[in-house]
Chains A and B, each alone.
Chain A
């Protein structure tokens, strides 16, 4: 069965600290896709990244980086030098290739609070 677990419910850091948000997934498919979305206080869901299961290269985009490790079924997200504007709920999500519809299975989300 497919499942996404974000064990950290809430994280609070002080501005400029680095922070890592954990995501562990379960799937029986060999081909799958992983996503991170950001939900700021205004409520919308903002796409951050998509990775497929065959691409384990870590990715960096500005202050954001992602560490994908198939061996531990994890897809962790690190924010370097956090800023107050990073305060949001962050969701990790999984889509299985076996699901022809592309539906997303979301984790519970991690609320990140960055204090000035």
Chain B
């Protein structure tokens, strides 16, 4: 199993640009989530999903959209990038419908200039 994969690994955007961060898992996990990691702030939940067609907001959802059309994929869309969105983004998944033990992807380092 590849586990949780994320693309791209690195991305530089200009303010106002939009883009999609890709996340996929091959473990047939129901629960998937997106976090951003910022120094001194730990990991903060952006959005999560408990299954295909079901998504909900986390702690810091503003400026981001998600969709879950399949069990495997959970893309994160930045609608209009801002410098405050410069961060490392992690996708994670876990079996069942609860945020229990989560498996993390390698992360995407995003810089917005």
A and B bind: no
Q: Identify the A interface with B (CB < 8 A).
A: none
